[in-house]
Amino acid sequence: MSVSRLPDNPGTVTGLHTRRSSYQPNYSAIAKNRVALARSTAGMSTKVFAEALSRLLGRDIKSGHVSNWETTTTPPGDVLLAVGALAPTTSSRIGVRSHKLIAAYIGPAAVERLRADLGMEETTGYLGKTPCWTTGLEGVGEECTLIVWPWGTAIIHLVEDLDIPDVTTLAIWRYQSYVENLEWASAQLSRLTGESVQASYVLSLYWLYAAPWVGSTLETGLRLICAPRILVDRDLTDSAAAQVNGERVEQELLTSGYQRPDMKSFGTPGVSSAWASWSGVVYYPHDPLRALPEGDLVAFEIGLQAVWALTAHINEQVENGADPEVCERYGYGFLRAARSVLLTPRPQETGQHQQMRTAIVDTSGLPGQLSLAMEALKEAGR
């Protein structure tokens, strides 16, 4: 399976690493990379490429200029436009930042212990003004953050930058890594809390910054990334056979189209393409300056999953025939407030934020789960 870390040398996809889930691309590096990639694609030497640019721009461009624009100097805007005219290309590979949200219920007492033992930092912004506590975890991914909430939910936010040739590779990686992620998260949380903890699920959000498709094929490719299970045949135990079979199905679907009724689009024409489903979320910014910030998308999903995990814990207690037990401050009244925070548009929100909110909430199944949990808490007097 060809999953690799993103290279940062000219002529390849540029890695856009992030901290604290904030999209901070190095536009200078991207511009240099675009010149190098265009010249390589056109099969021109720096001298020939400079001559072609000179004709387009109406001024004398030297081969040294081209070399500098590929390595040390940020190319001017008119040069980038001319480069695009000389060699209009899309990436041949998929550049994706995977945000995995691994959820577990550890209980309010364990949260208090972690806050004290790990010196966790209090923060807000994931769920209105509701506080939570965060700390970094080492040794896995590009970035890994543990986020705990006072009602007992723990979310591990694992960020991994990937450079992949097709959606099938991502689908198989996701299928295999989920098992490893759940085992690792369960072991980590059990070690940190001193109790037996079982991580319950992994939710994926994908931020694409390089794609090999355009037009309707791009939308189909994004829908496949959003819900890639169709590309993974679990009956095939041979990994090579599974890869070949998945690639065949992928090409058929990219050609014929792939649309599921449970998916919702929240992209904006000319700005972004985006899809949400029960399986996850994918976002591709066409115009990073006007698109949703990556951090806003991730923060909203973290807050939603923190409440999703709480309501799942409540409903599981009910299904087991017990009255739900919750922390006193986080019963029916809290869930009613959380429902408003998650479902109600904010006065200062943009249309893109509102579309994101609606698509992610509706496909998550949270509204129905919230209603069941609130009804159970109300009946139990909590």
The whole-angstrom separation of Cα 283 and Cα 266 is 9
Strands 201-210 and 280-285: parallel
Which tokens sit at 16?
């856009």
At 363, the amino acid letter reads T
pLDDT value, residue 113: 95
pLDDT band at residue 214, thresholds of 50, 70 and 90?
confident
Read off the pLDDT of each residue in 4-11 and give the average, rounded to a whole number.
Answer: 39
pLDDT value, residue 14: 28
The whole-angstrom separation of Cα 74 and Cα 221 is 32
Read off the pLDDT of each residue in 156-176 and give the average, rounded to a whole number.
Answer: 93
The whole-angstrom separation of Cα 326 and Cα 314 is 8
pLDDT value, residue 56: 86
Place of tokens 């799942």: 312
pLDDT value, residue 12: 28
Q: What is the pTM of this model?
A: 0.78
Q: Which residues contact 213 (CB under 8 A, 6 or more apart)?
A: 90, 220, 221, 254
pLDDT band at residue 61, thresholds of 50, 70 and 90?
very high
pLDDT value, residue 7: 37
Q: Is 163:6 a contact under the CB 8 Å cutoff?
A: yes
Q: What is the dihedral of CA 224, 225, 226, 228, to 10 degrees?
A: 60
Q: Which residues contact 251 (CB under 8 A, 6 or more apart)?
A: none
pLDDT value, residue 325: 85
Low-confidence winner among 8-17, 57-66, 86-95 (lowest mean pLDDT): 8-17
Cβ–Cβ contacts within 10 Å for residue 358, how many? Answer: 15
Q: Closest Cα partner for 20 from 299, 316, 341, 338?
A: 299
